[in-house]
Amino acid sequence: MIRSRFCFCISVLLLLPIFLGGCGLAKLSRVQGESDLTVVESTLAENLGTLERLTKLGNATLLARAARACSSYAGFFEDRMEEAEIAGDMETAAEMRAQAIEHYIRAEGYAFKVLEKSHIAFREPRTVEIPVFEKALKRVKKKQTEPLFWAAYAVARGISLQKDDPMQVIDLVRVELMMQRVLDLDETFYYGSAHLFYAVYYGDRSPTIGGNPEKAKEHIERVDEINDGKFLMSKYYLARYYAVPKQDAQLYKQALQEVLDAPSDIYPGEEAATALAKSRSKRWLDQVDMLFDLEMEEGETE
């Protein structure tokens, strides 16, 4: 019985390259170069189930990819949630929020499954005491930056979608510790997105509880340095997490318009990220009247 099970596992591992190369899963590795977000979403939807089933093999690479895929797919639900909220459709918004949270929870689980191999504390990452959690993070090596980032990202997005739940918000300190470890290991990972976490961390909070738009801007500028200004999501973050708290409507409109005016191939091989930045920038540029008192601003400049 044990021998047959062992042989089955070996045969599955030998067939794994065929699965990844010969079916739709191969598209997941190329999806970041796709500029049509409809195609990106459908590719994720069609192949996510297969990828998640393959994670049962316990392969660290597959687990990390599943964490990223679940997080990416959750982002589409978040976008629909925002669209529904803007339209006043709170029922649809609540449904999309729940779907996004579900996928972030799955992403979190896959990512921490990889990190468990470095320290047992990651089996119960939400309940272990902070000193123990910090000790566990020191055991994470550079080669584990990917699962560490996606674990932190998934937890952070889940918290953002459940701000009214104090039991969720209390875990923000764990996210900050994880993202700081990502910066220590490889600040350039995934376009330098750990810096964008800090842009939100400092730009989306009141100064009375640690908000600091200037610090947010510093992290955004670092992302531009890492990507030679080609990663347009940084301009989107500049608008939302610096221009809004500073109430600089001119900068807000300028940054978002620059995203919209940029060529779709400004960052070769990363067209999906560019398309996403354009989609979100268009949606938020349309909300400028809601975010700024333009009449007061015009009166001040007369």
pLDDT tens sequence for the chain (302 residues): 444 443 333 333 333 433 444 445 677 778 899 999 999 999 999 999 999 999 999 999 999 999 999 999 999 999 999 999 999 999 999 999 999 999 999 999 999 999 999 999 999 999 999 999 999 999 999 999 999 999 999 999 999 999 888 878 889 999 999 999 999 999 999 999 999 999 999 999 989 988 999 999 999 999 999 999 999 999 999 999 999 999 999 999 999 999 999 999 999 999 999 999 999 999 999 999 999 976 545 545 44
DSSP string over 129-140: -HHHHHHHHHT-
- pLDDT at res. 29: 73
pLDDT for the residue 25: 66
Which architecture characterizes domain 30-186 according to CATH?
Alpha Horseshoe (1.25)
Domain extents in the chain: 30-186, 189-287
Contact indicator for 216, 206 with CB cutoff of 8 Å: no
Question: CA angle, corner 238, sides to 152 and 243, nearest 5?
Answer: 125
**pTM of this structure:** 0.88
Could you tell me which of 215, 220, 249 has the C-alpha nearest to residue 236?
220
